[in-house]
Amino acid sequence: MKKDMASKGLLSFAKDTLLWNLSGSIGYQIYLCILVCLMLTGVYGYFIQFKLGLSATNMSNIVSWGFYISNFTFLVGVAAAAVMLILPSYVFGDKDLHKVVIIGEVVAVGALVMCMTFVFVDLGRPLQFWHLIPGIGQLNFPSSLLAWDILVLNGYLALNALVPAYIVYCHYQGKEPVGKYYKPFVFISIGWAVAIHMITAFLYQGLPARPFWNNPLLGPRFLASAFAAGPAIISLVLHIVNSTTDYKIDNKIFNKLRIIIVSAAVINLLMLFSEIFKEFYFPTHHSQSAMYLFFGLEGHDSLVPWIWTAISINLLGTLILAFNPFKERQIFLLPALVMLIVGIWLEKGIGLIVPGLVPSPMGEIISYSPSNVELFITLGVVGLGMFVVTVLLKPALIIEKRYEDRHLTD
């Protein structure tokens, strides 16, 4: 039996993963169909945008970055959050979290695919994309923070795809993965996770032209909000895995994640409070953006309801998770997780990007909300991300489960 396993090569690995992905219950098939429909919606949206140019969006010379870049910023955080599982499981040898670390890594890969797609659909001339590739193009490194971001995001994608791929492939063959082949990369990826989010923050933080972003707290706050929202998303995925597959997740794991989420969320709220204090205790000319975000300026107040919703559900979610009134019934914490995720998404996405650009440097104030094309494309990208997570996770969990069972019987 074991010998048979070891002789299985890449070809049968590919064949098996494909088979596992296509087979499943009716519910699973419907779910896949929904994802495909979402992606097709995105393709349709992008087709229109490609034909009309970015004028198909509601962006303008004033709000020159919109919904795409907002989502990109949020998702970089989700990708970085995998480190909150990688660090305890590989470095501190936490057995519980080690069991789910692969799920964290797969979520990171999905988030990164979405990040890159969001940046790509935001480009005015996507076909000239190759101008960025070193060698055939011209990458403005190290001067441009965007060049840094492109490099670190691709590096992180490689790390988070290759390490789990190697481990899963070894397990598929029934072998124990060799530590020295992948451990160094695990350690690199821990530092790298912090780097992707700090550098994404520096992208904004490094612009003196935009006082709302030009704030040294932005980077640390990005990390804190990421380490709350990211593990919250991973928790949701774990709940789904727990209820739909035979890969069972222990309550202990949910509890550990809950503690990570609460700690990060509290730090995030503290920093948010610190920012709000600075903007409103003695409002200066530079507080205009914050005024626009929280109260509206000159009748432009489209963001106001969103930011107050964001802060309320952020606070409420954090409190519920912290006091955990349902004790061992983890399932009741789901709404709190969703609240926290949506709160951070609103506040760090559109609540960060749009006010950074309004008022314009010449004092103009306008409102922005995404156009239908932007919404279609965003749906498509989200569908793509979920698809990537699904097709990577399904075979990985089957292999892990078999490997585990075999170990237990040995």
For binding to another protein (CB under 8 A), which residues are involved?
10, 50, 52-55, 57, 59-61, 64-65, 119, 122-133, 137-140, 143-147, 150, 158, 161-162, 165, 203-204, 207-210, 356-357, 359-364
N- to C-terminal Cα separation, the chain: 12
Q: How far is the CB of 76 from another protein (least distance, A)?
A: 15
Q: How far is the CB of 51 from another protein (least distance, A)?
A: 8
Give whichever of 210 and 300 is closer to another protein, judged by the CB atom.
210
- CA–CA gap between residue 91 and residue 209 (Å, rounded): 41
Q: How far is the CB of 166 from another protein (least distance, A)?
A: 10
- Contact status, residue 49 vs residue 41, Cβ threshold 8 Å: no
Give whichever of 73 and 235 is closer to another protein, judged by the CB atom.
73
- The amino acid present at 335, given as its one-letter code, is P
- Contact status, residue 190 vs residue 197, Cβ threshold 8 Å: no
Q: How far is the CB of 147 from another protein (least distance, A)?
A: 5
Give whichever of 52 and 240 is closer to another protein, judged by the CB atom.
52
Give whichever of 159 and 321 is closer to another protein, judged by the CB atom.
159
Give whichever of 188 and 207 is closer to another protein, judged by the CB atom.
207
Q: How far is the CB of 282 from another protein (least distance, A)?
A: 18
- Identify the H or E element spanning 69: helix 67-80
134: its two tokens: 């070193």
Give whichever of 8 and 406 is closer to another protein, judged by the CB atom.
8
- Kindly write down the DSSP assignment for every residue of 319-365, as one continuous string: HHHHH-TTTT-GGGGHHHHHHHHHHHHHHHTHHHHHHHHSS-TT---
Q: How far is the CB of 230 from another protein (least distance, A)?
A: 23
Burial 17-55 (b: 16+ CB within 10 A, else e): beebbeebeeebeebbeebeebbebbeebbeebeeeebe
Q: What is the largest CA-CA distance in the chain?
A: 74
